[in-house]
Amino acid sequence: MFIDAKITDDCHIYYRTTDDFKAWYENNLRDLKTEPVDFITHIGYKYLFSADGFGAAWVRVPNILFTGSVLLLRADCEQYFYSLLEPMKTHVNIDPGLINLDYVYEYLEKNPKIAEVIGENGRIFAETYLTKEAIDCYLTRVIYDLNDAYRETTGLKQNLKLVCKKIIYQGSCVKYWVVQSVKGFMEMLYYKKSAFRKFMLNINT
């Protein structure tokens, strides 16, 4: 078995699942529960796996990329920088159901130079696109997109829905607080238009 995986937090199982699933968990997986492993320990692994849960994995993907380990990515959600990632160059995609995980592991083990290059490319990607400065640049673009949507007085609500879909659901951000900030702008736009107008005037001057 080449996967070192255990359960570190099972509290959600007891309030989000059915009684049948709870019973199955107790009988089959409860013994796999252990204490969380710090991220420094993670760095010692050649391959690091990220899979989305109820939402995107958020900071886990950038954190893995920064380590230089090979990112094995099973993504069902999309963060704003995913379109810049290149499979087999910056990371390796894992299929739904993890059906290709065995093959990927065996391939990388047989081709250590390729694995090393992928890990290094991932690190370079993170240091280029996922720094604080790069995220600030993206947030600036988000603010100006909201500003442009506000300027369109015709169909304002529809424009905002499109922008919101782009920057929250598809674009999202590396940290949760960013989403909350965007939601704050949305709330200001809908319910405090005059305050938002003053804010935007200050930006444009």
Give the domain ranges of the chain.
Answer: 37-130, 133-204
Give tens-digit pLDDT for 122-179: 999 999 988 878 877 777 777 777 666 656 555 555 555 555 555 444 444 433 444 4
d(CA 74, CA 23): 27
Can you name the residues that pair with 48 across neighbouring β-strands? 71
Residue 119's pLDDT is 96
Retrieve residue 149's tokens: 């949507």
Strand boundaries in the chain, DSSP class E: 47-51, 70-74, 92-93
Average pLDDT in the chain:
75
37-130: in CATH 3.30.465.10: no
Give tens-digit pLDDT for 105-117: 999 999 999 999 9
d(CA 51, CA 95): 10
pTM (2 d.p.): 0.68
pLDDT value at 197 more than 50: no
Task: Count other Cβ atoms within 10 Å, centred on residue 30.
Answer: 12
Residue 144's pLDDT is 73
